[in-house]
Amino acid sequence: MNTLHAPGFPEAEVRDRAARGAAAVFPPTNRYGTAVFGEDPDDRYGGDALDAMRLVPPVFMPHRLARLIELGREPLFSDVSLECRFGGMRSPVPVYVSALGSTRVAADGVDLARQAGRIGLPMVIGENVAPMNGFRPERDAQHKTLSARIQAYTEELPDGVGGVCVQQSTEDADTEVWNFLYSDPVVEPLLSSGRLAFELKTGQGAKPGLGGLTLVDDATAERLGGRFAVESLGEDGPLLRCASPGTFTEEILRQQVHLIRNNYPRAHCWVKLPPARDVAEAAEVAWRAGAAAVTVDGAEGGTGWAPSGFLRHVGLPLAQVLRRIGTPAGDLLASGRVWEGTRTAKLLASGAAAAGLGRAALLAVSEDPEAGLCRLIDALALELRMLTSAVGHYDVTRLSSDDLWSPHD
């Protein structure tokens, strides 16, 4: 029934959480009392530098004492506050749904939007959703549209939390995605409550240096031919629609941020950076120009179609991206292989204000279009509370590099 797969990603675990929720944080309950558990011995997913890090609780916990005094009892993990604010939006957990582009697997966007809205998770909508799939619902394409996603999201959204961030890349500028949205009635409830952001996309996590790549059929290729390069992959092979990554210099990035702030004063400005070698300098330029958030993808992230060589050999891993940025000068949002609480906690401790769910969110919705993402977040939130209290904090935003140990230390 489920046709969505994520090779190299802990798909079975994500699907388990999407089905069982917080119960899946623990080993199967039918093995309770009959088996012993230790570290996963075979590290099935290869792991990266973030996986190799460990969260390390201290013995002495002054923050726990402060919370104890406040509560008049020993604090528990359930006393941990996960509420936070990033990129101008509030969220019940330090998590957002990262951009899902026009790739066919992102067609579940409406179900995903509905669940993200219900939870109040900020959600990024990827580039090319508009030029590829159109703005307005049309008979057979109605679930693919940008407006449909936003409408589904806002219909479920509680007051005061969440928000939508819409990307625009170089080709999107031709279709004026942001200009269109800024006056679209569907967006008005978000705009009037400060919950709309526009994200300037400067590159892709899965394929830094390249623009968006999508397989399209002949008819779509013909329709898009004027705006995108279309490449045939061999004789009678599939057609590859290629977007340009856009050209950036420090001044171009700075001025594009200025222009977003100038043109859309009621929207927040986010900037997405690829895992590039000068990511720290670029983030600095973006924050200094007034970006409310900078999002970074590790080279291990991304939902889009990418050449295998790029997936394996191009771009910085997320841990290195965060190391290069160091102490962020503004809100830093990070994504790449995030699906559970420990990686989220490590990202927060490494300087991120929130972690982005990409593939995990898609898989969860694929597992259960009604509640898969909600359950995945329940499980993640439980873990995050446990981890945060374990290192002696009762506010998730207090996680810091002191709570981390790296084998390289």
Partner 1 sequence: MTMQSVLSRVDTETHPLPTPRDHITSERTRSMIRIQQALLAGAREALAREGAVELLHPVIGPVTDPGSRGAKQVDVDYYGNRYKLMTSSILYKQTSLLAFDRIFLIAPNVRLEPIETSSTRRHLTEFHQIDVELAGATRDDAMAVAERLVRHAVATVVDRHSGLLESLGRDPEVLSAFAARPFGRVTHAEVVTELHRIGHSQSTGTEIEWDAEELISSTANGPFFVTDYPKGSRGFYDRENPEEASRLLNFDLIAPEGCGELCSGSEREYEYAKIVTRMRETGENPAKYAWYLDVIRQGIPASAGFGIGLERLTRWVAGLDSVWEANAYPKLPGVVSP
Give the strands of the sheet with 229-232, arranged side by side.
213-216, 239-242, 229-232
Residue 36, CA atoms < 13 Å, CB-side half-sphere: 1
**Residue closer to partner 1, measured from CB, 289 or 382:** 289
Q: Which of 92, 134, 137, 189 binds partner 1 (CB under 8 A)?
A: 189
Q: From residue 114 to residue 153, what is the string marking binding to partner 1 with x (rule CB under 8 A)? A: -------------------------------------x--
Q: Which stretch binds partner 1 (CB under 8 A): 71-79, 255-263, 356-364, 383-391?
A: 255-263
Rounded to an integer, what distance in angstroms lies between the CA atom of residue 286 and that of residue 292? 9
* Binding of residue 263 to partner 1 (CB under 8 A): yes
Residue 369 dihedral angles phi and psi, to the nearest 5°: -65, -20
Token digits of residue 171: 């080709």
Minimal distance in Å, beta carbon 253 to partner 1?
9
Choose among 168, 95, 19, 20: nearest CA to 358.
Answer: 95
Which are the contacts of 49, defined by CB distance < 8 A and separation ≥ 6? 317, 319, 320, 406, 408
Three-state DSSP at 86 gives strand
* Binding of residue 183 to partner 1 (CB under 8 A): yes
Residues 205-244 that bind partner 1 (CB under 8 A): 226, 244
Minimal distance in Å, beta carbon 380 to partner 1?
24
Rounded to an integer, what distance in angstroms lies between the CA atom of residue 332 and that of residue 342? 18
Rounded to an integer, what distance in angstroms lies between the CA atom of residue 358 and that of residue 318? 14
Q: Which of 134, 137, 194, 290 binds partner 1 (CB under 8 A)?
A: 290
Minimal distance in Å, beta carbon 408 to partner 1?
39
Q: Which of 6, 186, 306, 376 binds partner 1 (CB under 8 A)?
A: 186
* Binding of residue 270 to partner 1 (CB under 8 A): no
Rounded to an integer, what distance in angstroms lies between the CA atom of residue 321 and that of residue 221? 35
Three-state DSSP at 164 gives strand
Strand partners, 242: 213, 229
* Binding of residue 188 to partner 1 (CB under 8 A): yes
* Binding of residue 291 to partner 1 (CB under 8 A): no
Q: Which stretch binds partner 1 (CB under 8 A): 4-12, 70-78, 121-129, 154-162?
A: 154-162
Minimal distance in Å, beta carbon 136 to partner 1?
13
Q: Are 163 and 199 in contact (CB under 8 A)?
A: no
* Binding of residue 250 to partner 1 (CB under 8 A): no
* Binding of residue 171 to partner 1 (CB under 8 A): yes
* Binding of residue 164 to partner 1 (CB under 8 A): no
Minimal distance in Å, beta carbon 372 to partner 1?
22
* Binding of residue 320 to partner 1 (CB under 8 A): no
* Binding of residue 170 to partner 1 (CB under 8 A): yes
Strand partners, 168: 200
Minimal distance in Å, beta carbon 153 to partner 1?
9
Residue 234 dihedral angles phi and psi, to the nearest 5°: 85, 170
Q: Are 199 and 272 in contact (CB under 8 A)?
A: yes
Q: Are 357 and 95 in contact (CB under 8 A)?
A: yes
Choose among 289, 405, 408: nearest CA to 56.
Answer: 405
* Binding of residue 407 to partner 1 (CB under 8 A): no
- Footprint of partner 1 on this chain (CB under 8 A)? 151, 154-155, 157-159, 168, 170-171, 173-174, 176, 178-180, 182-186, 188-189, 192, 200, 226, 244, 246-248, 251-252, 254-266, 289-290
